[in-house]
Chain A
Amino acid sequence: MNKRRAMGRTLTKLALPFFIAALTLGFAERLFAATQPTYGGTLLVEFRSPTLMLDPAKWKTGSPESSDSMQIAAAIFDRLVTLNRYGRLQPALATDWSHDEQYRRWQFSVRPGVLLSDGSPLTSGDIADALRELLPGKPTITPAPARVVLQFPTAVPDLLEQLASSRYFIFRRNANATLTGTGPFVVGKSSTTASGTTFKLLANERCWAGRPFVDEIDVLLGVPALRQLFDLQLGKTDVADLSPELAHRAVRDNLRVWSSAPVYLYALQITGSAPGAKAGTDRPATAKLNSGEALSRALDRATMANVLLQKQAEPAASFLPQWLSGYAFVFGMENDVDRARETNVRSSSAPSGAQLLRLRVDAGGDLAKLIAERVAINARQAGIPMQIQARAAVRDDAGGAAPAKPLEWEGVRLVAWRYSSLSRRAELSNMISGLQLQTETAEPAAESAEQTYEYERALLSEYQLIPLVVLPQYVGLSARVRDWLPERWDAWHLADVWLDGKKNSAAPAGVQP
C-alpha cells in the first residue's frame, strides 16, 4: 500500500510539468462571430407627435399620444424590474425582491452604486418618492438603507408585472420639478427649426448597465407621416413611428419595417342613456344593454381588419388582446345582422329603432374616421341609423387629444386605447378608470387567468365598451440600425441599438418581422 502511495507521489511529480504545460497548448484561432456592436454616432428618430412629455406622472393612462413619450422615457429612466420576452422578470434597479403570503407587503433590495445622471447616488428614498407619486392603491412606502418596503391595503399579486411596464419609472424630482434618472441617456438641449422641434438625448457615461452604443439620439417631433416615409427613403432618419395607413406602402417601397404585437385598441364606447334614445331621456338598463348588444352583433370586425385596414389590424372581441391575456381567442365574434336587427327593434321604443344614433370620433387620425364610417355602415345595415360627428381636437398637456368626458356625451364614441401594463388586472382597471366605465362588476381579488377571464367576460356583457380592432405599432428603420430588438409589446431598447457605419442609411433593407 505504502509502495503504491509512493508511486502515486512520483507520478504526480512527473505529471506536474504537464499540468502547467497544458495551459499553453491548443488554443487555436478564435472568432467573434456575429457582428459585434460598435460605439458612436447619432441615432435619428422621428415622431409624428408634436410634443414629448417625459414626466410619467403626467401621462394620461391609455392615451395613444403618450406612447412616444414612454419610449423616450425608457431611455432616460430605469425601472425596479423588467420583463424580458421570454417571460422572465429581470432585476434592474432592484437586485432582488420578496413578498409576504398575502402579496400585501413587498420588499425590494436597491442595487448598490447606481448614480443618477447628475452624478449623485440613487437612494432608496428616491425610489420611494417616485413610487409614491405613481402607484395607485395608496401603499405605504418606507425607504430603508439599501431597500424599499411597500405595504398595500389589499393583495397586489401582479406588482412585478405592473412595475415592469407602464409609467413606473424611477426618478428624482428636482426642486424645479424637472426629473433626473439613472437610464442610459440624459436629456440634452432641444432646438426648434423650420422642420420641427429636435429633442436631444446624450449618452450617460455613468449608466450602471453600461454606456449605450450611440453617442446621441436626435428626436425630431411633429413630422408628418408622409415625410417620415420620404426621410426613411432618403436616409434622413433611422427610426420613425409609421402610421398604420403607410406601413403597407413602406413595405412595398422595400423599406425595413418592424411591427409590435397589437398595442392599440379601437372600440366603441356607449355613454349616457341608451343609443337610439333621445338625449336626456332615461332608458331602462336592459334597453341600453340590448342596444349595445345589437350594435356589437351588427359589426363586421373581420372586414374592418382585413379589407378596410388591409390586414394591418386584427379583429377584437375582447378588451385585452390575445398576446396579453392568453385567452382572448375564447371570445367569439358574432356578426349576425338579422339578430342585431331583432335585438335593436326589441330595445327601441321607436318603430324599428329609427332614432338617430350619434357616433363621435374621439380617436385621432384618418384611420379612426375610416373605422367610424365602416361602423356606421354596419349599424345602418342592422337598422340602426347612425350619424358621425367629428370632434374638434383639443390638445391636453401631453400634446394628445383632450381628456374625453364620456359621461357628458350621450351616444357612441369611437375611442383608441394604448395598452401599457403587462398586468391583465391592472390594464382592465386602467381601462375602467381611464374611459370612466360605470361598471358594477367587482374586480377579482387574485390575478388568476380564469378569474381575470370571468371578470372581462362580465365587463363585455355590459356592452359599455365594444371592441372593434387591435393594431400594432409600426416602426420604419434605416439599414444602418443594428440590434433593433424591442419587446413585442412595443418597449424599445434604444441603448442597445448601434449604427453600422458600413451601411448606407438610405439603402433598402427589406422587411423585418
Chain B
Amino acid sequence: MRTLAQRVAETRELPDKIAVEWNNVSSLPEVQSLLFREVFLQELGTRRTVVPANAGTPLLRISLRENPTDFLLVAQIGEASGGQVRMTSLSKSLFLPTMARGTGFRLVKQLLWQQPQAILDARELTEAPGSPANILLLKTDALAIYRESDERLTTVQELGFGNYRYISRGLRGELQKNQDGGLVVTLPNLTCLLHGPAAPSDRWTMTCSPHGGAGQLTNSSSSDGDTKPDAAVAITSSCDGTAWKLLAGESDWTRPDRLLLVGAQMKKDEAVASLEFAGPVLRVASAQDAKAALVVVFDLSSGNYEVYRVAIACGQ
C-alpha cells in the first residue's frame, strides 16, 4: 500500500493538491478496504496534500479489484484515456483466515472458529461439572480439542488419525456418543474412541481401528447411504427455560441456508425466528447444556468452514 502511494506520488502528472476517490469493487471486506485506504492516504499525505473532492479538484481514482488469484489496487491518475495507471497486487492467499477472535453475541450467533479446511462435525464437551467447556472439532486429519474462554478458542490438543487418509466427497464424519457414554469418532473406514483425561494434568487419548462393515461410513455408493436429516435439534431458552427446536433448510451446498426457531410442538411453517448464514448449514448439534447449539457452516462467500454457537437471545 505504501509502495503504491509512493509510486503514485512520484508520477509527474500528479498535482500538489489532490482529492482521492476510493472504490472497493472486490470481494474483500469493506473493513479491510478501509484499512488499506487509511495506510494509502497516510503515505500519500506525506508527499501531497490530500483535499476533499469538489469541482475543479484533480482526482486520483483508486479502485480495489480482483482477479482469480489476487486483489488489485489500481490507481488512475488524470483522465482515464490519457492518464497514467499504477497498480499493485496482493495475493488472495495472504487473506487466509487464521484463528478468528469471537466477535461476541450478535443477537443469536457467535462465530467460534473458521478455517479453509473442512470441518466435519462439532461438539461441546465439559470434562467436569463447572469446568470450562471444550469444543471438539472433527477435521479430516485430526480431532481438535479447544477450550473456550473470553469468547475465543485456544487449542488444548489435536489428536491425529495416524496414517489414515480421509476420502469422501460428501464430508462424511461424525462425533457421537456410544452406549458406554464414550465419544466415538466415525470417519469413512475408520472408527475412533476418545478417552477423556483421568486427571486435569492428563491428556486426551484416542484409539482408532479401521472398519468397513455395513452401516459404517465409507465412500462407496453401496454403504455410504443417504443421511436422513433428523427432525430437529433441541434448544432451551436461557431466558425462561422454554423448550424450542432448531430446523435447517433443505437446499444443497450451493446456497446460503438458515436455521429456523420453532416451538417444541410446532411445525416448520410456524417458525418464530430465523437466522441466516452465508452458506449451507452442514451440522447442528446441541451444546452441553442445550441452551445453545453448535452449527457448522460452509461460507460460500469466503470459502471457509465456520463453527457458530447459536443461542436464543433474551428480550430482543
Contacts and interface: CB of A to CB of B under 8 A. Distances in A.
Contacts of A6: none
B69 A449 contact: no
Interface in B224-264: 224, 226-227, 229-234, 246-254, 257, 259
A339 to B, nearest CB: 12
Interface string A451-484: 0010000000000000000000000000000111
Given A16-B199, A330-B85, A29 B234 contact: yes
Interface string A493-513: 001101010000000000010
B284 A26 contact: no
A177 interface: no
A496 to B, nearest CB: 6
B93 A485 contact: no
Interface stretch (A45-53, A86-94, A140-148): A86-94
B92 interface: yes
A338 to B, nearest CB: 16
Given A332-B81, A483-B254, A30 B233 contact: yes
Contacts of B231: 29
Interface stretch (B34-42, B48-56, B175-183, B205-213): B175-183
Interface in B62-95: 63, 65-72, 74, 76, 80-81, 85-89, 91-93
Contact of A33 (B65, B220, B284): B284
Contacts of B116: 86, 88
Nearest to B302: A86
Contacts of A324: 67-68
B253 A483 contact: yes
A269 B80 CA distance: 25
B interface, size bucket: 35 or more
B198 A19 contact: yes
Contact of A326 (B66, B194, B230, B288): B66
Nearest to B286: A28
A4 B105 CA distance: 39
A210 to B, nearest CB: 4
Nearest to A448: B89
Contacts of B199: 12, 15-16, 19
A212 interface: yes
Contacts of A389: none
A89 B70 CA distance: 12
B286 to A, nearest CB: 3
B81 A334 contact: yes
Nearest to A90: B116
A397 B226 CA distance: 43
B110 interface: no
Given A33-B229, A36-B170, A484-B254, A26 B87 contact: no
Nearest to A423: B69
A286 interface: no
Which 7 pairs from chain A and chain B are nearest by CB? A24-B181, A87-B92, A33-B248, A28-B286, A86-B303, A34-B280, A33-B281
28 contacts: A16-B199, A18-B128, A18-B129, A19-B197, A19-B199, A22-B129, A22-B196, A23-B194, A24-B182, A29-B234, A29-B286, A30-B230, A32-B283, A33-B229, A33-B281, A35-B229, A35-B251, A36-B229, A87-B68, A203-B221, A326-B74, A326-B89, A327-B74, A327-B87, A424-B67, A448-B89, A483-B254, A496-B169
